[in-house]
Each structure stands twice: as structure tokens, then as C-alpha cells.
Structure 1
Amino acid sequence: MVFVQAKTLAPGYNREMIRGVNIGSWLVLEKWMCPSLFDTYASSAVDEWTFTETLGKDAAYTALQSHWSSWFTKDDVVSLKGMGINALRIPVGYWSFDLQDGEPYVWGAQDWLDTAIEWAREEGLYVWVDLHGVPGSQNGFDNSGRSGPMDWQTVDGNIARTHSVLKTIAKKYGASSYADVVIGIQLVNEPASWGNNSNDITRDFYNDGYGNVWAEIENGNMMVVIHDNFLPLSDWTNFQGPPAAGNLGIDTHIYQVFAESDNTLNQDGHVALACSKGDLLAAANAIVPVFTGEWSGSTNICLLADGSTIAGTSCSEDGCQCESADSRTWSAGLIAQLRRFNEAQMDVWEETTSGYFFWNFKTEHAPAWDFMKGAQNGWIPQPLSDRQFPGQCGY
């Protein structure tokens, strides 16, 4: 199976610009976003695997039902719509569809995914179903459900099992009854391009997964989404196939806190780096729809008393304040610096991609990663089109 070519927002992409958020740490736990859940039930756990393993099936089910019913709610959907959001990217693990003996996970998340889709439908929002964790872990990160091992491609049966899960997802959420709300199915989130993974195997998985999904769905407008595998977008824009094969989308994640080089920049440097992404994004988006499926407002910077910024998470000068501080203490100047960076990124996404999803809709203690808190407190523009720092990237 090969990919279809040249279906983009201009031409061919037949939906409005996606302005979305991720619903992270809901159906796939990530401790850094909701540490209180772990502190309450399993403080030594580091991911969903060890959370459920520590508690056992019955206690884990009880704890997760409490979390699922409170972390993300219909009220949040209503609020997000009011903040200008038109789409939700919802991470889910394979174990919500295929749970085998010897795995500590518990059933139940699929029912909540169904509920969230109904909430989105009622409010007129779109949904991407994102397979965030696959058997064996595609990256060894906690966001796959299990941190440490990365055996997705090296243990027999894992890739076949992933394809089976995707067929189940495609048959259910690609049905015509969901066509008004579920617009995307992501084959896998953030497969590593290092370690035990082979990029050639990932590419074969994408080809096969794309065909498998399209063999199951009824919704002819569905977007089948691949992650860029942490490789250049140009590696993924050269697939060709019959137009009847359907729609392909590329998901890229752009952060400015994880590379060593990022953490040497002041906010001027972060803004300039955001602006520099535009040409490559536009070139890829002219061939295949590109979505910034994850991004945040986080940069490790501090604001000096004279209004300039420096790289860092702490400082000792009088009047200096860092993003790492409690957001309840952030000055108007520091909030403006975060907003400046967010506006630059949003300008690029709006001008050069087919849409974006902020990571995350909320967090407990990471405010620069918290869309709702940012929208309520000024570092996310409201409305989303408002600009206090227009034209930073020349758009």
C-alpha cells in the first residue's frame, strides 16, 4: 500500500483550520501533569503500567474511574469551545481495545472516549483519536503507557497487534455514524527514530496501517495521520498513490525546552526560532496537510528588572522572575513574554499549517503547558486571533 499525494488545506483539505488542544493524561496517564493522582494512590509509580501494577486490577479500576470522571468533563468541552477551540486530540492506549493476560492495565477508558466524542458532538467540536501507546512501547516514554522498554518493533506480534487495534478503532470511529465528529485517526504517537526502532520498519508500518484503516472506514473524509518520527517533514511528503485512497496528514511536535540548544536562548531567541519554522512547514503543507499536533508555551527563561530576558530556571538579581516560578506570582511583564512567544507560534501555525493542537488542555503544576489557565490569565490570546505582538514573524 502507498500513500496518496497532494491533499492539503490548499488545495484538497476540505475542513476548516484546526485550532485544538490535547486531552493528555486522561486516558493515558502522565505523572508530570497530574501528580496528585499518583501521590494519592501509587506514589512510587512512574507511568500507567506501574500505576496499575502497583494497585492491582480492582483498586486501579476504582482509582482510574475517579480520575476519568473528573480530569476531563463536559464543562471543560464547553469552556474550550468558548475559548475558540474547535477540535480535541484524545490520546488513548492500545489496552483500551486489546488487553491481554499479564498486562496490568484495566478496561474502561474506551467508554470514556465514547463519552468525550458525544460531548464534542454536542458542542460542535471535532475529535482526533490518537493511538498514543502501542504494545511494547514505541518510544520508551511514559506517554506510551510504559516508560523504559522500547520493544514495539523487536518483540514478535507487537506490530501485528497494533494493526489489529487500529482496525478496531477504524471500524468503530470511522463509521458513518461518527463522520460528523471524528475527523482523524493517528496511527501511533511519537515513534522513536532511535534505539530498538528501525525507521524502515516504521515506514512499512505506516504504509500498512494506512491501508488497514482505509479498508475499515466508511467516512470518506477521514484523515489518517502519521507522526514525523522525529525526522524532517520532507521525509514524509513524497508518497504517491491513487487519489481514491483517501486523506493523509502529517503530525509534527514542536517544543523549545527539550534540546540543549533551546535552553541557551532568551525569549528573543525563542521567538526567532519559532518564526524560522515557517518555511519548512509551508513547503510540506503544500504537498500533504501538516498539523502541529503538540506544542506549548514553555521556554526556560527569566525576566530581568530592565525587561530583558535570559535563559534559565532561576536567577538571583533583584527584580528577576523566572517562568519556573508559581504562575500566581508572575508579573505582567513575564506574562507578556509568554504571550509573545505563544503569539509567534500561533502566527506560524496559522500561516503555514493546516492546524494545531496545544499540549495540554490543563495541568496541575505546569502553567505554561496549560491552555485553559493561559486563556484565563492572559498568556494565551483571547480570542485566539487577538495579538498584542502582531507581525513578529512577518505574517
Structure 2
Amino acid sequence: MHCRGFVTFFDNPILLSHTPSMRNLIWSALVLAFGVIAKATLGHNASVSRGSTWSARDNITLSREFQPSAERYSHDLSYKNPKKWVNWHKFKANGVNLGGWFLQEHVIDQGWWDSVTPNATDEWTLCQQLGEQCGPVLEKRYASWITTVDVDKMASVNVNVLRIPVSYSVWIDVPGSQLYHGAQKDYLNAIAMYAIETYNMHIILSLHNLPGGTNNLEIGEAVGHNAWWGNQTNLDWSYKAVDTMLAWIQGTGHMSSFTISPINEPADEPTAFASAAGMTPSGIEWLQKYFNGCLKRIAQVDKRIPMMIQDAFQGASFWSPRFAKAANIAFDTHIYFFANPNATSFNVPNGLCEQVPDAAGDGKFPVFIGEYSVQSQWNNTLASRKTLFDTWRYVSMSQMQGNSFWSWKFTTRSEIDGEGTLKDYWSYEDMIDGGAVTTETTDSYC
């Protein structure tokens, strides 16, 4: 990998003391999140677009010697639950991701993987190894991982957006794909309708993988899969997934309650994943073709349905010149600090206040922080979680259109630098129980 944060993470002596299987888990954590360290190098691919890229990795500078202020601030933030079509230029999201539900990732729930298929590298090989039992195992997972009790608990802290990662196999059965295609839509419908009809929550359906694979990672289809790029057959199947998703949304009777996100963290040059160099000029043009096709399909159903573009680690300003101002789109950027070589629980809040607002781009389109957590590379403290969470909430809502935390459930207890384990900094549910997530924003750094 050509990412400083990845190298630094594996230079960490705590992590090097783990067994090989645990180090594979940690690698999955890096993969999950270096959507994670956000997006690119200034001016990359300038010949392809007039817009310049923005990267948290390259543009956010943190110092290990930074001495934080002891002062904290309270903010009366308004994040209403929408009752009609969402205008992302005005809407403020107080959201959470439902990861590990319709697309399985090792790092989220390692204990489940160990109990089902301990040697599987991804969901593709999980189904290969389970054979006819893949369906029953996953159906049990779909029924139990997220329930209405979870939605009630989210609502108790005023969550108004659920970002739901979904596999293409939820919508289509692709010939040759090992991913299970079954009754996922039934489980999705039960939770989505409960969230919408009980609490007026808004749902972002994030198509996390596409046929052929989009980034060589388990989150893109399977490890080593990157054949989506330049393949018309795979593109056609992707459009079928989008069409089926749109038809399902129509059938719910709640079209105004959905935003569609047609791809997540793509990289046609996966050796440079999580940087602007992860996208080549030809890859950018392929993505643009796909985005245009998705916009056309959405408009044929109802142009009021927003499309959210995960920025492929390029930043909103890079993509902005490529779309007409009237386009009903918002940009989704992912920012994490768990692999930043200088990030501590003490200096990240200042970085959030002083530098993360640059992610808002040129202001032409709304920007949403679709994924983040409160883990830093170093010196994690349980007491710092509320300051980090409140600062994220304040900055993303005052400078952008809000955020969705990754993730609602996260059970893995791998060691980190400082106090606690991974789950303490990645589980929204546990952070509610620990007092780090509250309805009020009372402990922001700025």
C-alpha cells in the first residue's frame, strides 16, 4: 500500500504482537476505514477535471506535541426528522451506519466469523465454504443483527438518518456470483418501514459492492476482485441493481424517505486505495458514466429522490465541476483518524475544528460525512469519546450537512493504543451505554 497511515499502523508494536489471524483482522479494520482517512492529493487528475482533490491524510496536519484547551462548548443543534422530500442543501443528518447487516465484514464482528467460517477471507468465500448452508446462516444473521429494539434505542438519542450498506446481491442474482441472493429485502423492509413510520427517519441505501468488484477488498465484492472497471456486462448488472432498488423504494409507498448511494469507496488502482491516486483518469471517466446512468434512472422514477456520491477519496470539489448545479446530488466523504500517524485523542478535536471544514468543498453541492469513528491512532481514552463525538457532530452540522457514525454495532475487542478495545470506539450502541453519545451536544471542542 502507498498509504503512510497503513504503514505506520503496522509499525505499531502492539499490533505486531498479535497472532497472524488477528493481524488479518486488523488489516480488515484498515480496509474498512481508510475510507478512513479521506481522499487525495491536491490537483491529482487535473487533466480529467477542473476540480482539485482534498485529502484528510495530506491536508490535515496533526502534532503529537499539541496541548489541547480545557474549555468545552455546548451547542443547541437542530436535527429534525424529515416528513417530506429531503433537500440535502438544508437537511442536517444525525445518523448512524448499520454495518455488518447486508454485507459482512470481519472487523465488525470477528466472533461471528470465527463461529461460522473461521478461514473465510470474505463473504464470497464464506458462501463457497458453507455451500447450501450459506443461505440459512445469513438469513439468521439478517433477522437478528438489527431489530426494532435497536431502532428504538437509536431514536432515544435523536438519530434521524440510517445509512444502510447493502450488497448488490440484495437486489439481483448475478450468474457466477457466490454472494447469497435471498430474502434480504424482507428484513430490510421490516426495519426501514418501522424507522420511517414510527420515527420519520431518512434512509440512505448505500450500494457497497458491485458485480466484478470495485476495490480488491471484501467490501467491494471479494478480496482480489476488481473487474467492475471497464466491463460493460458488470456495468449493466449494476444498473439492474439500481433499477431493482428503485422499484423496491417505489413499492414501499415512502419514496420521499430514501436517498440512493450507488457505490462505496471505489478504487480502480487498489494499490493506492484511500488516496486520490486510487482512481486513474480512465477510472474517473467510468465512474462518471455510471453516475450519469444512475441519475437518469432515478429521474425516470422521481427526480426528487436524491443521489449521494461517495467521493472515491477525491473530495467534493473534484467532482463538483462535472455536474450541473441543479443536479439533485450530495457528496459523501469518509474521514477517520485511527491510522493517522500523529492522531491522538487530544489533538484530533482541534483538527476537526480547524481543518475538517475544508471537506465542505466549493459549496456548490451539499457534503455529508458518511463514515467516521472516534478512535485515534494513539492515546485513546474512554473519557475523550464524548468530546470527539460532540465535536464531530457540531463541525459536521455547522459546516456541512451532518454525519453518520460507523457503526451501530461493533463487537470486536481487539487491542488499541490506550484505554479499551476497538468496540469502545466503533460501536454507537456501546457509546450510548457509556454516556459518550447523548441527545445534547455539551462537550464540543469548538
Q: TM-score w.r.t. structure 2 length?
A: 0.71
Q: Is 1:59 matched up with 2:144?
A: no
Q: Is 1:265 matched up with 2:343?
A: yes
C-alpha deviation, 1:336, in angstroms? 1.9
What is aligned with 1:199?
284
C-alpha deviation, 1:242, in angstroms? 7.5
CA distance in 2, matches of 1:240, 1:155: 24
C-alpha deviation, 1:240, in angstroms? 4.4
CA distance in 2, matches of 1:272, 1:349: 14
Q: Secondary structure at the match of 2:219?
A: helix
Distance 1:27 1:240, change over 3 A: closer
CA distance in 1, matches of 2:372, 2:343: 17
What is aligned with 1:88?
162
Contact 1:227 1:252 in 2 (8 A): yes
Match of 2:188 among 105, 113, 118: 113
Contact 1:28 1:145 in 2 (8 A): no
Q: Secondary structure at the match of 1:159?
A: helix
Q: Is 1:98 matched up with 2:172?
A: yes
C-alpha deviation, 1:193, in angstroms? 5.4
Contact 1:193 1:229 in 2 (8 A): no
Contact 1:277 1:348 in 2 (8 A): no
What is aligned with 2:122?
47
CA distance in 1, matches of 2:260, 2:333: 15
What is aligned with 2:307?
224
Distance 1:119 1:277, change over 3 A: farther
Residue identity matched to 1:294: E
CA distance in 1, matches of 2:151, 2:330: 24
Residue identity matched to 1:190: E
C-alpha deviation, 1:213, in angstroms? 2.1
Contact 2:166 2:208 in 1 (8 A): yes
CA distance in 1, matches of 2:251, 2:347: 46
C-alpha deviation, 1:131, in angstroms? 0.6
Residue identity matched to 1:386: T
Moved over 6 A (4+): none
C-alpha deviation, 1:175, in angstroms? 5.7
What is aligned with 1:369?
426
CA distance in 2, matches of 1:203, 1:153: 12
1:202-238 Cα shifts (integer Å, max 9, x gaps) = 12221222222222x23x5321111111013211222
- Superposition pairs for residues 130-145 of structure 1, below 5 Å? 130-145=206-221
CA distance in 1, matches of 2:245, 2:159: 24
C-alpha deviation, 1:379, in angstroms? 2.4
Q: Secondary structure at the match of 2:253?
A: helix
CA distance in 2, matches of 1:14, 1:102: 41
Distance 1:42 1:120, change over 3 A: same
1:280-314 Cα shifts (integer Å, max 9, x gaps) = 23444x32111101111111222xxxxxxxxxxxx
C-alpha deviation, 1:128, in angstroms? 1.1
What is aligned with 1:319?
none
CA distance in 2, matches of 1:14, 1:350: 12
Q: Secondary structure at the match of 1:222?
A: coil
What is aligned with 2:332?
251
CA distance in 1, matches of 2:376, 2:287: 31
Q: Secondary structure at the match of 2:347?
A: helix
What is aligned with 1:292?
369
Match of 2:388 among 312, 331, 341: 341
CA distance in 2, matches of 1:12, 1:156: 33
What is aligned with 2:403?
356
What is aligned with 2:43?
none
Deviates more, 1:194-203 or 1:131-140: 194-203
What is aligned with 2:233?
157
Contact 1:117 1:181 in 2 (8 A): no
CA distance in 1, matches of 2:325, 2:345: 45
Q: CA RMSD in A?
A: 2.3
Distance 1:153 1:199, change over 3 A: same
Q: How many residues align?
A: 340
C-alpha deviation, 1:102, in angstroms? 2.4
Distance 1:374 1:289, change over 3 A: same
1:114-171 Cα shifts (integer Å, max 9, x gaps) = 1221121232211111111101111122222312221111444111211121122123
Can you give the 5+ residue segments of structure 1 that lack an aligned partner in the other structure?
A: 1-8, 303-322, 324-333
What is aligned with 1:238?
321
Residue identity matched to 2:203: V
Contact 2:332 2:370 in 1 (8 A): yes
Distance 1:101 1:194, change over 3 A: closer
1:220-271 Cα shifts (integer Å, max 9, x gaps) = 532111111101321122244384xx5111111111123xxx1323333222
Distance 1:129 1:111, change over 3 A: same
CA distance in 2, matches of 1:156, 1:350: 39
Contact 1:89 1:127 in 2 (8 A): yes
What is aligned with 1:28?
103
Distance 1:15 1:78, change over 3 A: farther
C-alpha deviation, 1:278, in angstroms? 4.0
Q: Is 1:211 matched up with 2:296?
A: yes
Q: Secondary structure at the match of 2:243?
A: helix
CA distance in 1, matches of 2:164, 2:88: 21
C-alpha deviation, 1:180, in angstroms? 4.4
Identical-pair percentage: 22
Contact 1:335 1:378 in 2 (8 A): no
What is aligned with 2:442?
387
1:8-36 Cα shifts (integer Å, max 9, x gaps) = x9x96476411111100100001111122
Q: TM-score w.r.t. structure 1 length?
A: 0.80
